[in-house]
């Protein structure tokens, strides 16, 4: 190969590199919707995460790898009795090969994390603490009976610990309002979790946004949200819900209380 051939080849490869980078940039921009300070991506989280900066907290509810929508007959297996996701296959293989690496990457760019999980918890990065939601009314069934607990894996430390510790689990019978997603989380659960995992004004990442419940809770509680969802159908629902919440946000974000007047000591 002559020097001229080499120069041509290297010129060609840097042109190809430039074209590839432009195509990636375009794909990134096309997937992105901004709603006020909140950013939503309709893409695979594996593609988006390397382009993001750091977050105060990753708060998420990933697919659990329990074959959602398969064998939903109540007499068999888990008996969830629900539809599956639009195209994502909720298999254990996908949980191990897709969900766990995305969670690892998301926790890697976050100061702390709170991740809903189930009995496949052993495959997650090792948590620093466990909490959850006790659901006495039960949601669905597993092979040992009714499911009455939704565990949460916590990573890092809760903010504001210096002001005292708070319970890391709650009791709730709140049901999620049907919204077109097969398994949305109740809004009250996400608001409680956000209040536990972050403080007002912090940045929150949800790489498995679904219908955007974490995002709605962020809007209502004055957090700045970044969400990723691969299914256009759920992404559209999330955009609509977050836009709606933004329209009403002034009603929800707690306003600072007027300071109490301080009684000065009398100087005689």
Binding site residues, ligand SAM, CB under 6 A: 44-46, 61-63, 85, 88, 98, 102, 181, 183-185, 208, 210-211, 213, 228-231, 234
- Of 169 and 236, nearer to ligand SAM (C-beta) is 236
CB closer to ligand SAM, 101 vs 160: 101
CB 50 within 8 A of CB 151: no
CB of 11 to ligand SAM, least distance (A): 36
Residues in the chain: 268
203 vs 213, which CB is nearer to ligand SAM? 213
Q: Looking at the chain, list the stretches that DSSP marks H as alpha helix, in order from N- to C-terminal side.
A: 3-30, 45-48, 92-94, 100-108, 187-197, 213-221, 232-247, 249-252
Which residues, in sequence order, are CB contacts of 194 under 8 Å at separation 6+?
59, 204, 214, 217, 218, 221, 223
Minimal CB distance residue for ligand SAM = 210
Please state, in angstroms and rounded to a whole number, the distance separating the CA atoms of residues 134 and 238.
26
CB of 25 to ligand SAM, least distance (A): 19
Measured distance CA(45)–CA(163) in Å, rounded: 35
- CB nearer to ligand SAM: give 62 or 127: 62
Give the nearest distance from C-beta 177 to ligand SAM in angstroms: 10
What is the closest distance, in whole angstroms, from the C-beta atom of residue 189 to ligand SAM in the complex? 9
């Amino acid at each position: 190969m002559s020097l001229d051939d080499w120069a041509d080849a290297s010129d060609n490869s840097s042109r190809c590199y430039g074209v590839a980078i432009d195509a990636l940039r375009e794909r990134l921009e096309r997937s992105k919707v901004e709603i006020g300070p909140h950013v939503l991506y309709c893409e695979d989280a594996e593609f988006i995460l390397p382009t993001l900066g750091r977050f105060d907290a990753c708060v998420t509810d990933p697919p659990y790898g329990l074959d959602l929508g398969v064998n939903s007959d109540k007499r068999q297996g888990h008996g969830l009795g629900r539809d599956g996701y639009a195209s994502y296959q909720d298999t254990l293989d996908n949980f191990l090969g897709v969900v766990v690496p995305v969670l690892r990457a998301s926790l890697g760019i976050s100061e702390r994390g709170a991740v809903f999980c189930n009995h496949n918890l052993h495959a997650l990065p090792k948590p620093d603490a466990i909490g959850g939601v006790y659901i006495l009314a039960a949601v669905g069934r597993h092979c040992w009976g009714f499911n009455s607990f939704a565990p949460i894996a916590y990573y890092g430390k809760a903010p504001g610990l210096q002001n005292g510790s708070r319970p890391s689990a709650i009791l709730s019978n709140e049901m999620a309002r049907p919204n077109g997603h097969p398994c949305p989380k109740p809004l009250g659960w996400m608001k409680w979790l956000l209040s536990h995992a972050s403080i007002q004004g912090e940045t929150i990442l949800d790489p498995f946004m679904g219908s955007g419940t974490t995002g709605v809770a962020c809007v209502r509680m004055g957090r700045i949200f970044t969400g990723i969802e691969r299914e256009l159908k759920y992404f559209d629902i999330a955009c609509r819900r977050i836009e709606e919440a933004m329209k009403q946000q002034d009603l929800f974000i707690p306003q600072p209380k007027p300071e109490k007047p301080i009684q000065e000591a009398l100087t005689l």
